[in-house]
Structure 1
Amino acid sequence: MIHATAHNGRISVLSLALLATPTSLSANSITTVIPALAHALDVSTADATWAATAFGWGGVLGAPLTAALLRTRGSRVATLANAALVLLGTLLVALAPALPMLLAGRAAQAAGGGGLVTLAITLAGTTSRTGVITAGVGLVGAFGPLVGSTLSAISWRTPLLLSLPALLAVPAILRHAPAHPHDHDAGPTDASAPTDIVGILLVMTLISAFILTPRLGPATLAAAAVATALLTLHIRRSNAGFVPRAVVSSRVFVIASATACALSTSYFALLYTVPRMLERHWPAERIGLATLVMLAAGSIASLLFTRWTSRYAPALTRTVLLTAGAVAVALPLTAPWPTALVAANAFAVFAATAAMAWHSDRAGKAVPGEHRATALALFTLCYQLGGAFGPALASLLIA
């Protein structure tokens, strides 16, 4: 079983981190190339920003699709499918002569990358190993704008190809991935179970409506309400569908997922709002450097904290994470000093990435073994939703 290999270190945590981190780098690198993209493809800047929206949308959809593959086909097929999406999406981005093809490529890149993040979390096996992955995602993502601006000197397309390095980890994953789905580390899968197409479509509709609401307006809120009602009825009728009733009825899973989503949302919202608040105090170069330093500090603190959470009482760990999240939100609201404002990013990335690592272990253990892979994928989805909600919230705050 991969579960054993994960604990014995046969699947290197560095390989798992390499599998997950390029997606965050690619997501953040686009912020520096929007103007050049718009000019090259002869579209408006507003239209060009759809490239960021498409990536966020695709990344969130990757988690539930991977959950379905893990449940019915196992980690080997899930790894290959997501790697193929990353490769296909990167080729489309590299060759796209117009915006629609570029958007399709970015969405495919992100769907595959989001799936690889889900796989890495699922295969990690322990809180400390998950902490390495989530801290790596935060740390590598912090370098996204800097890497994007540097590589854009070559071509505006180059920063959009940064999902590709994740494929370097695929051979290492496949060497230890089981040949049969029932050997999956997260619990037994059911290869004979029918695929819950209705459940998958309802979840994808709900996610898409949430993400597209800031761009498309009230109509998507109505779609989200209808999808929520239909999904609720579907879960009640189908005990072991795409979203198993045993998972969403777990109080521990619901609390863990809601906490991860809330802390992730605040982190991504602050990532966009704090630099705007600092513009009246510091020049752009200093803002960029200070943000990078704070994000790196918070990510490293998260890595160190999650290495030792097994020694702490759960109440203490929970208090530290929630306090850090609260401080991150409070500083921009109450502190007039630039250094305090930029420090909010350190607290935010620490709270979000450490909570992702700690709560993922609790969420997985709170459900029956056969649903663990699905629970981890849905939990990861909730964290990734913060990456979509945060920028949308920031756009309202800084409008």
Structure 2
Amino acid sequence: MIAEPLHKGQIAVRYLALLATPTSLSANSTTTAIPDLARALGVSAADATWAATAFGWGGVLGAPLTAALLRTRGIRAATLVNSALVLLGTLLVAGAPTLPMLLAGRAAQAAGGGGLVTIAISLAGTASRAGAVTAGVGLIGAFGPPAGSTLSGISWRLPLLLSLPALLAVPAVLRHAPVHHHQAAATRTDTIGILLVMTLVSTFVLIPRLELVAVAASAVAGPLLTLHVRKKPAGFIPHPVIRSRAFVTAAAVASTLSTSYFALLYTVPRLLEHHWTTGRIGLVTLIMLATGSIASLLFTRRAARLGPAVTRSVLLTAGATAVALPSIAPWPVLVAASTAFAVFAATAAMAWYAPRVGAVVPDEHRATAVSLLTLCYQLGGAFGPALAILLLA
């Protein structure tokens, strides 16, 4: 990892990257363990794939939970709670004799891991440091499938335990986190708002599984959340955040680029099946994801010199190129290259927008704004596969 001078009270970026990256590694290693998981627990392969769905669901729940903790209890409490979720989830997965217990463990792992990702990005402070975190998430996540294949040869459970190394970074976070959080007297936990957000994002994640039921539930939860936000301007989703044009723009861009990235991650291998072997597809995809992630890291370190207009143009152009290549590229290698453009655009955008969003809202809402932006990015992990299913149908 490229070193960067620290200001007083800053956490070294290597610890922030370590806090965030194991979650992406664990998420991407799941698919390779599914066949052995199904045989070991005596369930069908279709039922076993709920392990991936549970992880995606838990991941998007981690952001709103962490946003609430950061706002009402501070960094220390948020870090401890999310670390406990990762540890508890890992213990459940390690010893789960049945699929329901395994799913509960995966959801807890992902909720805690997703929260730690949010904390890492919140603590980064600058686009270059946030870029190191998000590029690390993309780069390490690219090694998930081969790591899962290798570890599955020893035990199918090992690929599902890869969230645990994130806890190695927790002591460094706690050393820099204040012991006491000075909460404003007017700040209260908006329990209803949190539950409505969690319900809405849960329906989004479950649409590919439950279809009409999930769509109907989202049609109810969405308006209820809108009404609640109007009635509680200082609630879980504060008005100064959602009325910020910078936040709305960043959230839309982050969600769109993340969705296209995850959609391409599922569709591109299918498009290449008629040209290459499975092994070659996996290797080229790994190379492309690694290339895009490294490019994201280098770009975000220089984005400040380029200026906002150039940076936005590069990000949007890369995202558009990623979407266009599978349709117009004359050679398979260019189709595969779409994943490099996609991971570059998604991770670099998240790194660049997060500090800017935090800077344009009042200080008391900074953590909430970054957490909600992270949630919008993570929702791409739910929308993308659902879009891929429609495209490949």
Measured against the shorter chain, the TM-score band is: over 0.9
Query: Residues 186-223 of structure 1, C-alpha deviation per residue, up to 9 Å, x if partnerless?
Result: xxx43762211110110011001111111111122121
TM-score w.r.t. the length of structure 1 is 0.96
Q: TM-score, normalised by structure 2?
A: 0.97
Q: 1:217 aligns with which of 203, 211, 226?
A: 211
Report if the CA contact (8 A) 2:295-2:344 is conserved.
Answer: yes
| 8 Å Cα contact 2:30/2:159 also seen in 1 | yes
Aligned partners of 2:9 and 2:176 also within 8 Å: no
Instruction: Name the amino acid aligned to 2:14.
Output: L
* Unaligned segments of structure 1, at least 5 residues: 183-188
**Residue of structure 2 in register with 1:15 after alignment:** 15
8 Å CA contact 1:6, 1:123 repeated in 2 = no
The 2-side partners of 1:365 and 1:178 are apart by 21
The answer (yes or no) to whether the contact 2:92–2:104 under 8 Å persists in 1 is: yes
Secondary structure, counterpart of 2:276 in structure 1:
coil
Please tell me whether residue 265 in structure 1 is matched to residue 269 in structure 2.
no
2:392 pairs with 1:398: yes
For the structure 1 residues 178 and 191, does the alpha-carbon distance in structure 2 shift closer, same or farther, using more than 3 Å as the test?
farther
Aligned length: 389
Root mean square deviation of aligned Cα: 1.2
SS of aligned partner of 2:155: coil
The aligned counterpart of 1:29 is: 29
Q: How does 1:175-324 map to 2 (within 5 A)?
A: 175-182=175-182, 189-190=183-184, 193-324=187-318
Q: Any idea what SS the aligned residue of 1:43 has? A: coil
Q: CA deviation at 1:9?
A: 6.9
Residue 134 (1) aligns with residue 128 (2): no
Is the partner of 1:339 in helix, strand or coil?
A: helix
SS at match of 1:33: helix
Q: Aligned AA for 1:45?
A: A
Contact preservation (8 Å) 1:38, 1:44: yes
Q: Residue type matched to 1:117 in 2?
A: V
Query: 2-side partners of 1:193 and 1:6: how far apart?
Result: 31
9 and 134 in structure 1: CA distance in 2 versus 1, 3 angstrom threshold = farther
| Percent of matched pairs sharing the same residue | 74
2:359 to 361, 365, 375: 365
1:7–1:125 Cα contact (<8 Å) kept: no
Deviation at 1:70, TM superposition (A): 0.3
Question: Which whole-Å deviations, capped at 9, do the CAs of 1:148-181 have from their partners, x for residues lacking one?
Answer: 0000011000000000000000001101111121
- Residues 329, 335 of structure 2: 8 Å contact kept: yes
Q: CA deviation at 1:6?
A: 6.4
Query: Is residue 75–residue 177 contact of structure 2 (8 Å, CA) maintained in 1?
Result: yes
How far apart, in 2, do the equivalents of 1:198 and 1:302 lie?
Answer: 38
Match of 1:159 in 2: 159
- Report the residue type matching 2:149 in the other structure: S
Tell me if structure 2 keeps the 8 A contact 1:73–1:191: no
2-side partners of 1:24 and 1:190: how far apart?
Answer: 34
* Paired amino acid for 1:170: V
SS in 2 for 1:97: coil
